Amino acid sequence: MILKMLKKDIAVLFSERKSLIIFIIMPIVLTTILSFSLKGTFQETGKFNAFKVAIVKAYDSEEDLSYFRTKLSAYVDFDKVMADQNNMDFEKVFFQDFLENEDVKSIMTSVVMTDEEAQKALLNDEIVAIFYLPKGFIYNQLINFTMPYRNEIQIRMISSSEHQYASQIAESVMMSYFDLMNEKVIQKNVFIEVGASYLDTQDLFAHLGEILDNRVENPNSGKMQATAGMQIQHETISGEKAIDSFTYYSIAMMSMFILYASGYVGRALLREKKMQTLSRAAVAGVTKVKVLVSKFLMTLILCMVQMSLLLIYAKIVLKVDWERPLMMAIGILFSAIAVSGLGIFISAITLTRDSYKVANIFETVLIHIFALFGGSYVPLEVLPSIVSRVKFIALNSAVLDLFLGIYKGVEISNLLPQIGMLTFISILFSSLAIWIVSKREAQDYA
Amino acid sequence: MMLEVKTLKKKYGEFTAVDGISLHINKGEVVGLLGPNGAGKSTTISMIATLFKPNSGEILFEGENIVKNPKVIQPFIGYVPQEIALYETLSGYENLKYFGALYGLSGKAIKEQIQRISKIIGIEDRLKDRVSTYSGGMKRRINIGVGLLHNPKLVIMDEPTVGIDPQSRNHILETVNKLKSEGISVLYTSHYMEEVEAICERIYIMDHGKIIADGTQEALLEQSKIQSGMKLKFEKPVAQIVDQIKAMAWVTQVQILDEYEMIIRSSGNGSSHKDILNALMAMNSGLISFDIQKPDLEQVFLHMTGRGLRD
């Protein structure tokens, strides 16, 4: 009997042109418009609240200083140089003068972590990027400031592809520091001024020639490049694909528009009650639970068809490269299950209250709130941080996170929180729906 | 006895919609349930159709209590609600197929039934069209067809002819007569007294949740003791002679219809009509025509409830 009801529900759905436009055409149109119009915002910096980065120190400042002392003592009185040059304490310059600067902190805060802690924090979205300060970080800066040539300092940066804006800003902030340093080094005045203070002119140039011939050894790579300076090598989390606007909005719009299926099913059930077709079904012995199961399955199919079509459209027209069909199918299934649970819950309330108000409020107000809080309109990182903290209220947020994770190549084990959340939503709302209609008499649903 | 209702009661909060009614329907009998809006007809029908549970009382279908076990009656009841209970965006055929399927019909059986029923309701040539394109009368016919698909033993029709053309109404009344001839029992409610008079063998009159009278049409007329009347038309204004007419010995009631027409009722039988006519001729009243009016259910209803059926 449920299958017969399901077949009828699907026939009714596909006979209603207006519904099909809302479910299929509107998300396609909006995805296309938003993808193109907001394309730039996924590549350029914007306006942000302060975000957090992790600093992982691969160097030992004491060791670097000691090494530098050994190298430089051959040419100058090291202790004397360091005592007279307060600004050559690069540990202090970088961490206190630069990172603790109020202007920098208004954009980006930082915390020193171990590699393991930083990786975990990045996966948990607690930070937007990790900066690895390499071995010899202090030593190379000292060399660059005191010698005529520069050692290469390669800063490795890892960011989450979900935080395109923030990670690019973090990279720019760091670059501003290194650019400043590079500029000073290029002038070479530091070396000359320092050298001139402690060596006589003859010795200075004699040693300079020797340095030019031997080059200063980098304790990390053992190499030095005359033209090298400080650089940031930016990577995303290993194996992850970057998210562009087409990818983002095809998922974001999909996660929003599947919510309309919930509103549709809520409205459809009350409409059937008012048409008395539900009465007819009840007289034929159709129980309340069977009606709900039928509506659940109808929403499930509607949602799965809707999502599949939107993803196919994104692949063919917007050239979004979905690479994991099995994972996509799992994502579609669990998303549809959650939407179906929510749908029959709205149905139950709409039906027992005998008013379209509930479905109307859901469609005209709640879906848009969910869309905002769940990141369907704009990525959450551009909104106040409070929005990110309450995103769990929005079903579409879990769908969005799940599909972004699938797209980026995240392992299924790391997507279990999203899958679990969607399953929980489905079970919770389905149970509530059954409870609501069960405590009512037949006339309340028919 | 096909259906027996005993002291059925239904309350909504403090309001008593159905107040201890009893009725019965025999096999192959067409029974009318009459009453104005709010009399409790639809609530009664809904309880028989297992949609509502009564607060007290019993409903027995072929001797079994359906209040405790609705499944006893559900396969054998054909329910035709007052509203057009159809999916407008589906075709008539799809509607019939779906509702038939809910009663377990499928494959060849349902196709044959759809063919048979569509002939009875006279809608074969439009079955494949969307219901939304049908006229009001066609929708009503499909609405009835859905209730007949599974060969029910008892058909409940709640105002099945509201808002339709005379041709469709006649077709529906013919359908009810066909059902009767096939031994199917029908419980029929309507605002149209002439329909009930034409098709119902017995009638229950409901008001304020109670059955205030029941029986055959003749028995109800007899119970009501309503007098027959004469509709008279004069060539001169009735105002000039009304006092003389009121003064006649047999006349009990005078109702002026317009300037030249009136209805008079007398306490006697046919002989009093003759006496009145003679008196009118003698007084040179200008009588042009007269029409003897027998009492009907409408008058019985008005007499018993103090209000019209459509009030």
What's the pLDDT at B134? 92
Interface list for A 259-298 with B (CB within 8 A): 274-277, 279-286
Which residues form the domain of A418? 2-42+244-445
Please tell me which of the candidates A11, A276, A285 has its beta carbon nearest to residue B81: A276
Q: Name the pLDDT band for B276 (thresholds 50, 70, 90).
A: confident
SS3 B252: strand
Which residue intervals of B31-128 are DSSP H helices? Answer: 41-48, 92-102, 107-121
Over residues A396-417, the mean pLDDT reads: 89
Task: Please say whether the dihedral angle defined by the alpha carbons of residues A103, A108, A111 and A112, taken in this order, is positive or negative.
Answer: negative
Over residues B249-273, the mean pLDDT reads: 79
Same domain, A119 and A229: yes
Q: What percent of chain B has pLDDT over 70?
A: 96
Residue A429 confidence (pLDDT) above 90 = yes
Same domain, A415 and A328: yes
Element (H, E) at B172: helix B166-181
**Amino acid at position B88, single letter:** E
Distance of alpha carbon A264 from alpha carbon B107, whole angstroms: 31
Single residue among A175, A206, A236 that ends a domain in this structure: A236
C-alpha triplet A87, A88, A89: angle, nearest 5°: 95
Total Cβ atoms within 10 A of residue B17: 21
Residue A147 confidence (pLDDT) above 80 = no
**Residue reference for tokens 């006589």:** A200
What's the pLDDT at A205? 44
Same domain, A232 and A248: no
Q: What percent of chain B has pLDDT over 90?
A: 43
Question: pLDDT higher for A322 or B209?
Answer: B209
Locate the chain B residue with the closest alpha carbon to A18.
B89
Question: pLDDT higher for A446 or B130?
Answer: B130
What's the pLDDT at A25? 83
Question: Where does residue A38 rank: exposed (0-12), middle (13-18), buried (19+ CB within 10 A)?
Answer: middle
Over residues A334-362, the mean pLDDT reads: 90
Set of chain B residues whose Cβ sits within 8 Å of the Cβ of A16:
89
Q: Please judge whether B84 and A275 are an interchain contact, meaning their C-beta atoms are less than 8 angstroms apart.
A: yes
DSSP codes joined into one string, A387-398? HHHTGGG-HHHH
Q: What is the pLDDT of residues A221-248, one digit of tens each?
A: 433 333 345 555 656 565 566 677 888 8
Question: pLDDT higher for A444 or A289?
Answer: A289
Least confident of A108-117, A130-139, A234-243, B105-114: A234-243
Same domain, A16 and A55: no
Q: Please judge whether B89 and A16 are an interchain contact, meaning their C-beta atoms are less than 8 angstroms apart.
A: yes
Q: Name the pLDDT band for A40 (thresholds 50, 70, 90).
A: low
Interface list for A 11-40 with B (CB within 8 A): 11-12, 15-16
Question: pLDDT higher for A166 or A80?
Answer: A166
Same domain, A32 and A56: no
Q: Please judge whether B87 and A8 are an interchain contact, meaning their C-beta atoms are less than 8 angstroms apart.
A: yes
Same domain, A320 and A405: yes
What is the ipTM for the molecules in this complex? 0.80
Element (H, E) at B145: helix B136-148
Same domain, A103 and A33: no
What's the pLDDT at A234? 57
Nearest to A265 by CA among A332, A348, A333: A348
Same domain, A158 and A278: no
Same domain, A177 and A79: yes
Ramachandran category for residue A285: left, alpha or beta (phi over 0 → left; psi -120 to 50 → alpha): left
Over residues A307-326, the mean pLDDT reads: 88
Q: Please judge whether B85 and A15 are an interchain contact, meaning their C-beta atoms are less than 8 angstroms apart.
A: no
Are the C-beta atoms of B118 and B124 separated by less than 8 Å?
Answer: yes
Same domain, A91 and A168: yes
What's the pLDDT at B267? 67
Single residue among A203, A236, A269 that ends a domain in this structure: A236
Set of chain B residues whose Cβ sits within 8 Å of the Cβ of A279:
46, 49, 51, 79, 81, 85
Q: What percent of chain A has pLDDT over 90?
A: 18
Q: Is A3 on the interface with B (CB under 8 A)?
A: no
Total Cβ atoms within 10 A of residue A304: 20
Q: Please judge whether B85 and A277 are an interchain contact, meaning their C-beta atoms are less than 8 angstroms apart.
A: yes
Which domains are assigned to chain B? 3-223 (3.40.50.300), 227-294 (3.30.70.1560)
Q: What is the pLDDT of residues A49-78, one digit of tens each?
A: 678 899 999 898 888 888 888 877 776 666
SS3 A78: helix
Distance of alpha carbon B106 from alpha carbon B102, whole angstroms: 9
**Residue reference for tokens 């009663």:** B103
Q: How many domains does chain A have?
A: 2
Q: Name the pLDDT band for A196 (thresholds 50, 70, 90).
A: low
Q: Please judge whether A11 and B70 are an interchain contact, meaning their C-beta atoms are less than 8 angstroms apart.
A: no
Return all residues near B202 (Cβ < 8 A) that are at least 6 apart.
Answer: B29, B31, B32, B214, B215, B216
**Residue reference for tokens 């048979």:** B116
Q: Name the pLDDT band for A166 (thresholds 50, 70, 90).
A: confident
Same domain, A12 and A134: no
Are the C-beta atoms of B54 and B209 separated by less than 8 Å?
Answer: no
DSSP codes joined into one string, B116-142? HHHHHHT-GGGTTSBGGGS-HHHHHHH
**Residue reference for tokens 């409020």:** A361
CA distance B310 to chain A (A): 23
Over residues A390-411, the mean pLDDT reads: 86
SS3 A145: helix
Q: What percent of chain A has pLDDT over 70?
A: 78
Are the C-beta atoms of B123 and B92 separated by less than 8 Å?
Answer: yes
DSSP secondary structure letter of residue B292 = E
Same domain, A174 and A281: no
Are the C-beta atoms of B223 and B213 separated by less than 8 Å?
Answer: yes
Distance of alpha carbon A332 from alpha carbon A349, whole angstroms: 26
Residue A211 confidence (pLDDT) above 70 = no
Q: Please judge whether B49 and A283 are an interchain contact, meaning their C-beta atoms are less than 8 angstroms apart.
A: yes
What's the pLDDT at B203? 92
Question: Where does residue A156 rank: exposed (0-12), middle (13-18), buried (19+ CB within 10 A)?
Answer: middle
Distance of alpha carbon A138 from alpha carbon A89, whole angstroms: 9
Element (H, E) at A211: helix A201-214
Single residue among A171, A201, A236 that ends a domain in this structure: A236
Q: Which one of A138-152, A391-405, B82-96 scores highest in mean pLDDT? A: B82-96
Distances (CA, A) of A175 to A50, A162, A179, A232, B64: 17, 21, 6, 7, 88
B217's tokens = 């049409």
Residue B73 confidence (pLDDT) above 60 = yes
Question: pLDDT higher for A260 or A34?
Answer: A260
